[in-house]
Structure 1
Amino acid sequence: MTRVWILPVLMLLCGALLAAGRAAGGSPVGAVALLLLFVLLAAATSPLAFPRSTGAAEARRRAEADGRPVVYWRPGCAYCLRLRFRLGARGRRAHWVDIWRDPAGAAAVREATGGDETVPTVVVAGRAHVNPDPAWVREQLSR
């Protein structure tokens, strides 16, 4: 549970250290800008940037009922972040499963990818797609 926050916390700490160095060097505006940049990076890599995750079994059940895709992801994954941002508000319609929080979700991804935990893995109508094009996922969410 706590490992999902390691990267965002490291981003905040690094940003604070760099900003303190800038401020001590006589550049308070640069320090604030640098700190703001690292706060934004920390927020983007945190679980807060993603919709609330459900368990793999619950996500599959919901997907069977409403036909929406299941997206398996993990915090800190640049490809997951890319997918999430490119889906925009439509991304909330998908069922998101954090594979670090749900061992069954991690197992489903390993099964779909041949033993790897490659994310994002999107399951639509029972068929897994590893790191799909965000435009294609947007199209699946529009159906």
Structure 2
Amino acid sequence: MKIKTPIQVRYQETDQMGVVYHANYLVWFEIGRTAFIEANGLNYHEMEEQGVVSPVIDVHVYFKQPIRYGQDAFVHTWLENYDGLRTTYGYQVTDAEGNIAVSGTSQHVIVKKDNFRPISLRKKFPEWHEVYSNALEEK
């Protein structure tokens, strides 16, 4: 399942050249990841209420062409890989014509908020495990 999320390119996200500043794509990835999670009937906030957070442990970003202020942009998000402990999301940021401007991945684990010890998504959140396992089968 691939989720397409519209992004409004705000002026403050651009640099002096009028292009989106590179670090803002990571924020857009997070917007897409949240949309992916919610579109699958899951809720990250509920996970946090149980004392669990999901830090990024690895990220890759590949820049192909700029997105400029005033352009329509979309972040496409999908589950790239999942093994019960680590989750990797895939992303493509496109313009209105579907041209890929940026692509990338981010890898996450879940940890206890108080001590940052990794825990198994499969064991702690079996509903997430089921959804993610099914999403990989559909890929």
TM-score for both structures, normalised by structure 2: 0.27
TM-score for both structures, normalised by structure 1: 0.26
Which structure has more relative contact order (CA 8 Å, sep 6+)? It is: 2
Instruction: Give the structure with the larger strand fraction.
Output: 2
Instruction: Give the structure with the larger helix fraction.
Output: 1
